[in-house]
Structure 1
């Protein structure tokens, strides 16, 4: 099946309402927020990501910016590529879609990485990309806000923030807390629109970790 197909089977449409957005429609929507798509660290969440038609186009745009800025410095390229990948989040009800989506995002990174740095590519960087995708693209139900892998645990996403060059700060947030407004503690903060800003509390924080050692969190 082509990644551009809009359905896999009629039965999946009946059972899950599964219809994929075409590449042309995805790009038309992304063009409306073009400034955000070229910010390496701007975050995108697709709550019914399917096999990744929306997320892959976001990543392609971000990776083009990473290449343009950092193609002559492998360390900077790797770190910023991981930040770009870490800013993309997806949820889907169907496990095969989640696997396919992760693989497409990984391949987008790996094809560019291999082309630019050839034999200098580091497996540790690929492992970190795999790990970030395992935390960011989740087999779950965005309506119940829970995983559907049998655990019934809440969906939790990881935020990946660059600190001091090569170090990454990971904080985990419950999707339910991100989507449901909660009163703020402490001083009031305001958005650019004058609304109160919501600053969610992480459910877990982790020590600073080098971008090549992110799987060490587990």
Structure 2
């Protein structure tokens, strides 16, 4: 049987009870069409070890495989896009690390099965880089990271442009979740930023170069 409790202490301190597979699939089936749309974005504000996000990624990758497995570059492009559409926040650091590794493992298992010795380490690096940014150690109740100094959580929107290029734009989680949390913030350039607009924009870049160029 699957365990839904890591420890009694964590239940007492954080109310942490992981959602079982049956419940996860039943809930996701309520939005089944969206879970199978490659670019449809999902945010889990208390993602734990990734029970919901793992199933969402499996469903998305099944669609990518069905459509694009005959072309390695196409598979890589759309698999990266599928990964980039998944976001999570958790208050427990070990959960965040576990979730990132779990999601990467789901991607890599399919990737290896399809392309074996032809796999590209740049593609793996892109997936790891995106997961590092999209799965955040933070508190979704106060919209701040847990690592010091605690700063507002920001998430990156990854949008495909011109085929193999990706455009990254960063937004504040507080704005994405509750527009009444709007406040004056400053962009990376030191200017007052309107939260209706991205906090930071990056130039389009080839999806296989993301991990090496965007820090």
TM-score (norm 1): 0.90
Misfit runs of 4+, over 3 Å: none
Post-superposition CA distance 1:10-38 (Å, at most 9, x none): 00000111000001000000111001001
Distance in 1, matches of 2:149 and 2:69, equals 41
2:75 corresponds in structure 1 to 77
Q: Work out which of the residue numbers 25, 28, 31 in structure 1 matches 2:26.
A: 28
Distance in 1, matches of 2:160 and 2:116, equals 25
Matches within 5 A, 1:36-185: 36-181=34-179
Q: Is the Cα–Cα contact under 8 Å of residues 128 and 212 in structure 1 kept in the other structure?
A: yes
1:16 corresponds in structure 2 to 14
Question: 1:203 and 2:202 equivalent?
Answer: no
Distance in 2, matches of 1:212 and 1:5, equals 37
Q: Shift of residue 200 of structure 1?
A: 3.3
Q: Shift of residue 181 of structure 1?
A: 2.2
Distance in 2, matches of 1:131 and 1:200, equals 26
Aligned CA-pair RMSD: 1.2
Post-superposition CA distance 1:122-159 (Å, at most 9, x none): 00000000000011000000000000011211111111
Post-superposition CA distance 1:154-206 (Å, at most 9, x none): 11111111111110000011101111226xxxxxxxxxxxxxxxx93110000
Q: Is the Cα–Cα contact under 8 Å of residues 159 and 172 in structure 1 kept in the other structure?
A: yes
Distance in 1, matches of 2:131 and 2:104, equals 8
Question: 1:212 and 2:178 equivalent?
Answer: no
Distance in 2, matches of 1:46 and 1:96, equals 16
Distance in 2, matches of 1:108 and 1:8, equals 22
Aligned residues: 200
Q: Which runs of 5+ in 1 are unaligned?
A: 183-198
3-state SS of paired residue (1:8): coil
Distance in 2, matches of 1:180 and 1:7, equals 30
